[in-house]
Amino acid sequence: MSKEVFQQDLNDKKGPRPGGPFLIQMLFKEPVAMPDQETMTAVMQRHIGSVKCYSYDDTMAGFNALDHMAEFKEGKIPVQLMVMTCNEFTGKGFDSFLVSQMWDCMEERDRILQECQYQVVAVDMLAALPALERANLDADFLDALAELYPTCEAFFFQNCGKLLRAEDVRNHGIEGPDRFIRFGVNARFFNVDGTDDMVVDTLGMNTLFLPDLQYHFHGMDPNWVVNHAYNVASYILENDNPIQSGETIDGIEDGHFSRDIQWRCQLEDALIQPPRPVLDIHMGEYAAGGR
């Protein structure tokens, strides 16, 4: 666990744009060629469904996901999935604060970030879809990328700051929308300097126009709280954001959900950067800070 003390930038008032692109960085030790158009199209179709390659050149490959139509005022258009050509990776923007929350790859993160000097960036565009549909599409897109780029060393998910080994992505064994929670949502953990207080929050839910979660607490195993956060995030995604501000959810007893313990939820501004609205969960006797 990192002992570094971080100071928030109080001048940073701009948070992530809700519903923004789901951006994936695939990291490599050596340069990698883009698969040929026929291969890319076949793999995309196998994982995503009907697709049409609308662009393929030495800069990028672009595909229309024809089964996923985004709705705008002007009409309906298919979501676009874009894969860029390989370029150099320098880790620019990977500051110590970001790296400190790469919990899923703690033992190998430094090696990966040092050894991987090349990247392929992939992104969805115009993905104005219902949350559940977009979550499944992005997870299908990720599965296709993992197959198309077998020499990929690691995946970095920019919307949530998560770094995962490629083998963990290829062999996840998860079905349905929980795949998005696994890769597109990061449960972060912070100690509050000079106190016994802790904060667990999530980052990445707002990509789907859903609320991130926040817990400000003391006296409980943070691993229990992280597990609670991921389960609540999954529940919110699968059930179309059913928890309203002021309502309660099951709390934790001995590491497990308990209906006998009810924690109140309240929409608030995030305590930890980036600035964004969160569903703050008041943990009863374990709660810290003023509400």
Q: Are residues 205 and 115 in the same domain?
A: no
Question: How far from the centroid of its chain's Cα atoms is residue 96's Cα?
Answer: 19
Q: Report the C-alpha gap between 212 and 206 in whole angstroms.
A: 7
Residue burial 152-174, b: 16+ Cβ < 10 Å; e: rest: bbbbbbbbbbbbbbbeebeebee
* Domain termination residue (choose one: 145, 165, 180): 180
Q: Are residues 199 and 147 in the same domain?
A: no
3-class state of residue 258 by DSSP: strand
The reply to whether the predicted model has a pTM over 0.75 is: yes
Q: Are residues 146 and 195 in the same domain?
A: no
- Residue 133: φ, ψ to 5°: -65, -45
Q: Are residues 269 and 155 in the same domain?
A: no
* Domain termination residue (choose one: 180, 198, 225): 180
What residue numbers bound the domain in which 49 lies?
A: 23-180
Q: What is the pLDDT along the chain (291 residues), one digit of tens a residue?
A: 455 655 556 455 566 788 899 999 999 999 999 999 999 999 999 999 999 999 999 999 999 999 999 988 888 999 999 999 999 998 877 888 899 999 998 889 999 999 999 999 999 999 999 999 999 999 999 999 999 999 999 999 999 999 999 999 999 999 888 999 999 999 999 998 888 999 999 999 999 999 999 999 999 999 999 999 999 999 999 999 999 999 999 999 999 999 999 999 999 999 999 999 999 999 999 999 765
